[in-house]
Structure 1
Amino acid sequence: MIEVLEDMPAGVTGFRVSGHVSGEELRDFGSTMETMLAGDEIRLVEVVSDDYQGFGPGGLVEDLKMGLGTLVRHHSGFRRVAVVADKDWIRHAMHALGWMVPGELKLFGIAELDEAKAWAAG
């Protein structure tokens, strides 16, 4: 499941992933994501819930397509991306692949969500 977080500071976009995320869900979320990233500066908070189990059918392919497309279209707009997660494999993946994210990337634990929002807004 993907849900938009409504309680974000001004200028910050946030969403939460939980359970399995399917390709269909990602395709449906694509237009929402484009609307969320329409500004000049992108400040993003992505929360990976403790119950996140990865991708369901077609999810990985759609995630790669969406992620790469977003990076290409908005590359110069990325300022700060906060990833909020307690799962070790998410944290390891971000350490390994974080260099691909334009702008600043910082990892936070679930208990640090408010700090992540403030950092992204700063």
Structure 2
Amino acid sequence: MIEELQDMPAGVVGIRVSGRVTAEDFHQFKPTLDRMLDADEIRFVEVVAADYEGFGQGGLIADVKQGFSTIKHLHAFKRTAVVTDKEWIGHAMHALAWMIPGEVSLFGLDELDAAKQWAAS
């Protein structure tokens, strides 16, 4: 599941992913993504919940397709905060950070407020 976080600072989009993320979840997220990509600067907080299990039916393909749709907006990405307690995501972030545009920072689930402030600053 992908759900938009409502209590974000101005100019920051936040989402929470949990359970198994499917193609339908990405389809429902598309209006939020489109709104985010319309901004001059993209500041993003992604919370990976403790119950996140990875991709479900069609989720990986939908993720890759949406990723390609952001290529022409790479210059707009300013800050991405990833909030999780999943150790493997932290390792993946450190290994792949060079592929993520803008600044990227990792926060624990108990640091969500700090992640929001960092993304907004």
In the alignment, structure 2 segments of 5+ residues that lack a partner are none
Question: How far 1:27 moved relative to its partner?
Answer: 2.2
1:10 is matched with 10
Question: 4+ runs of 1 displaced by more than 3 Å?
Answer: none
| Kept in 2: contact 1:85–1:108 (CA 8 A) | yes
In the alignment, structure 1 segments of 5+ residues that lack a partner are none
Is 1:27 the counterpart of 2:27 in the alignment?
yes
Question: How far 1:73 moved relative to its partner?
Answer: 2.5
Tell me which amino acid in the other structure corresponds to 1:88. Answer: E
Q: Percent identity?
A: 60
Alignment of 1:1-122 (within 5 A): 1-70=1-70, 72-122=71-121
Question: How far 1:107 moved relative to its partner?
Answer: 0.3
RMSD over aligned CA atoms reads 1.0
Q: Separation in 2 of the partners of 1:105 and 1:32?
A: 20
Q: TM-score, normalised by structure 1?
A: 0.94
Q: Separation in 1 of the partners of 2:28 and 2:111?
A: 29
| Kept in 2: contact 1:13–1:37 (CA 8 A) | no
Q: Separation in 2 of the partners of 1:65 and 1:18?
A: 20
Q: TM-score, normalised by structure 2?
A: 0.95
**SS of corresponding position for 1:32:** helix
Question: How far 1:32 moved relative to its partner?
Answer: 2.1
**How many pairs were matched up?**
121
